Structure 1
Amino acid sequence: MFDTSSKLKAGLAALSVAAGASLLPLTAQAEGTVNIYSQRQPFLIQPLLDAFTEETGIEAEVLHLDEGLPERIAAEGENSPADVILTVDIGRLAAVVDAGVTQPVENDVINEAIPAQYRDPEGHWFGVTTRGRVIYASKDRVEQDTITYEELADPKWKGKICMRSGQHQYNIALFASMIAHHGEAEAEEWMKGLKENLARKPGGNDRGQAQAIYAGECDLGLGNTYYVGLMMNNDEEPEQKEWAEAIKVLFPNSQDRGTHVNISGMALAKNAPNKDNAIKLMEFLTSPEAQAIYAEKNYEYPVLPDAEVSETVQSFGEIKPDTLPLADVAKHRKAASEMVDRVGLDDGPAS
């Protein structure tokens, strides 16, 4: 354990209660330790951390926070135990950078492993895995096997599309990519068409869109690839296997620019007390071993080019990722969010 004052421990405990977080004992400045603040569910990252500890002998301690991670680290200031930040979505990665709680990393091992479009040009964040923002399509009612995002505004799909809230971070990133590719005016006209094609008011989560297709409420749904794998292999809730069986995965724009992808990612905390160990962990997460664990356990795509993809993910079909740098996508997130409100996307289709 690291040598911290009772005052700091009390402060951390109070912040934990305020954040509603589950706090494992964090040890600042001890050899052989790295402290992780994570917005990824513990069961998703624990196999990776166990492998890291087995390989390096460095103990990994995790604080899981669903919300408020940047604010938590900012409040802790120079005394923060945080070494590595793990989170999902380019928006959340941009948020920790904007909060001023990261520091740049210039590391040849990491930079050579991760393609440029999946890392911050200034070195503040790095993608670890990718997931496609794809179309779930009814196997029974949708004959075509190719589609584009632009086609979602085609009147032929009127009343046939389901989606979660347009303000959800996964959809905001997709809409931001549409702005990056087409400009705001054209993207807004597209969004208006998408709204008119909705079968219902946006709601639920990505799995809920597959459930709606299974129930015959719509024919198409927007969702992330890894949710399909989670549904296919959900022994605790076997009805989700039926939802997965009812859909096929269409990779939009495979014929041209490629499918929009988002990332899970990592960043080095600004005041990391165990910086050397933090860098070792970040290097490990880009290794073939760690990438294979991510691919098998989480049904995500490795960022390493040519890395092996799990059999479940291979069953979806081949993905051609959009090469638009995610740093460029992040620039348009605010405009995308404002557009969702301006168009009234979350109000659903006009009656």
Structure 2
Amino acid sequence: MTRPLSLLLGSVVFLTTLTAAQAQELNLYSSRHYDTDERLYSDFTAATGITINRIEGNADELIARMQAEGANSPADVFLTVDTVRLARAAEMGLLQPVESDVLETRIPSYLQDDSNQWFAFSQRARILFYDKTDVANPPQTYQDLAKPEYAGQICIRSATNVYTQNFTAALIAHLGVDAVQDWANAVVENFARAPQGGDTDQLRGIASGECDIAMSNTYYFARILRQGDDQITPDQLANIGWVFPNQNDIGAHMNVSGGGVAAHAPNRENAIAFLEYLTSDQAQQYFSAGNDEYPAVPGVGLAPSVAALGIFRPDAIDLSDIAENVGAAVEVLNTAGWE
């Protein structure tokens, strides 16, 4: 016995045929840890009758678990918050190609894996923040971070952080390994402190006066704009300016959150339906309103906290190009002594 599944995606309706046995559950392995995602899951269940069983944890731990489970893995969908882990899961044979007109139509091609094993569903711009009282001429490009005038001013995350690796890999794709090696060497010389903490810690470093310039994903700052931070006063927040870098050439680097269907998914049709649901206008708006991210689907409205950051040109590099250069990025960072 089968029944049709119909979900509204803005002006797009997709139909998937599910067997009665398959129509009841979905096993989701996710490293997304945001409370606001609860609405994504509950609305999907309400629309489809499919119960989502969640296994949440560190992305590397989930990948290791899927590998250990092998063909007996119950995982249907793997979700994570960076290109590195998505590419790693695909390379390890833990994901499978998906043919979906909805995913192909809704998600821009540069936000898809070349072999359709994973897709991006939300984005965060990785931009530069600065102390408006201390920095008269803030850097306008990522390359500017290497300038001697910013010596002792930069707070940034460690070389082991996936955001740092993704960003460096994108630079390599644009500029080449040699140029990025020179850049990384010079940036290390400009550190205000050894790399430490998360993105919010970099913003707090500006507020405390420990550094004058920092790199962070936009959604951390937008979240502070929306709900405040117990270590940043309103006056300190008002004194933090921001720059969307490289607006005259490559554009601002974008990190993504995305997912794919597990290689041995026992509920494959449900898994595809869930990924398609994540492209709906409703789900895309949740990514922005609930977690201060940029939608992956063009034309979906932004939350006020995100829109307040302004219009900018994003880097439209193919995510597969970033994934291919992650190994080189790690080597560049290590060679530069980027801790």
Fold match by TM threshold 0.5: yes
Give CA deviations for 1:66-125 in whole Å, capped at 9, x if unaligned.
141111112112221111111011001011112211100011101110011110010000
Cα separation, 1, equivalents of 2:226 and 2:233: 7
What is the aligned counterpart of 2:130 among 125, 134, 137? 137
Query: Distance in 1 between the 2:36 and 2:66 partners?
Result: 22
2:45 maps to: 53
Aligned to 2:12: none
Counting only pairs closer than 5 Å after superposition, residues 2-81 of structure 1 correspond to structure 2 as 31-66=23-58, 67-81=60-74
Q: Which residue matches 1:230? A: 223
Q: Is 1:281 the equivalent of 2:287?
A: no
Match of 1:252 among 222, 241, 245: 245
**Partner AA of 1:225 in structure 2:** T
The answer to whether the 8 A contact 1:213-1:246 is kept is: no
Cα offset, 1:336, TM superposition: 0.8
Q: Any gaps of 5 or more consecutive residues in structure 1?
A: 1-28, 347-351
Is structure 2 residue 115 aligned with structure 1 residue 118?
Answer: no
1:325 aligns to 2:325 (yes or no): no
Is residue 99 of structure 2 the alignment partner of residue 106 of structure 1? Answer: yes
For 1:146 and 1:198, how far apart are their aligned partners in 2?
14
Residue 265 of structure 1, aligned match among 258, 264, 284? 258
1:193 is aligned to 2:223? no
- 8 Å CA contact 2:139, 2:145 repeated in 1: no
**Distance (Å, rounded) in 2 between the aligned partners of 1:181 and 1:304:** 24
Q: Write out per-residue CA displacement over residues 297-348 of structure 1, whole angstroms, 9 at most, x where no aligned residue.
A: 01000011121111101111222111111110111111111111111122xx
Farther-moved stretch of structure 1 (30-39 vs 271-280):
30-39
The aligned residue for residue 79 of structure 2 is 86
Amino acid at match of 2:202: Q
CA contact (8 A) 1:233 1:241 kept: no
Amino acid at match of 1:140: T
Offset of residue 240 of structure 1? 4.0
Tell me how far 1:147 sits from its aligned partner.
Answer: 0.7
CA gap 1:241/1:99 in 2 versus in 1, 3 angstroms: farther
For the pair 1:312 / 2:305, whether they are aligned, the reply is: yes
**Aligned sequence identity (%):** 37
CA–CA separation in structure 2 for the residues paired with 1:261 and 1:338: 21
Distance 2:36 2:256 in 1: 14
Cα distance in 1 for partners of 2:110, 2:186 equals 29
TM normalised by structure 2 equals 0.90
Partner Cα distance (1:244, 1:283) in 2: 38
Q: Contact (CA 8 Å) 1:89, 1:262: kept in 2 or not? A: yes
Deviates more, 1:182-191 or 1:37-46: 37-46
| Structure 2 segments unaligned to the other structure (5+ residues) | 1-20
Matched, 1:155 2:148: yes
CA offset at residue 231 of structure 1? Answer: 2.2
SS of the equivalent of 2:29 reads: strand
Q: TM-score, normalised by structure 1?
A: 0.87
CA shift, 1:234, in A, is 3.6
- The equivalent residue for 2:4 is none
**Equivalents in 1 of 2:233, 2:38: separation in Å?**
25
User: Is the 1:146–1:251 contact (alpha carbons within 8 Å) kept by the matching residues of 2?
Assistant: no
The amino acid that maps onto 1:63 is I
C-alpha separation in 1, matches of 2:110 and 2:233: 34
**Partner letter of residue 49 of structure 1?**
Y
Quote the Cα distance in structure 2 between the aligned partners of 1:240 and 1:59.
40
- Contact 2:251–2:314 (8 Å) recurs in 1: yes
Instruction: For residue 23 of structure 2, give the secondary structure of its aligned residue in structure 1.
Output: coil
Residue 205, structure 1, aligned to residue 216, structure 2: no
Aligned residue pairs, count: 317
C-alpha distance in 2 between matches for 1:79 and 1:335: 34
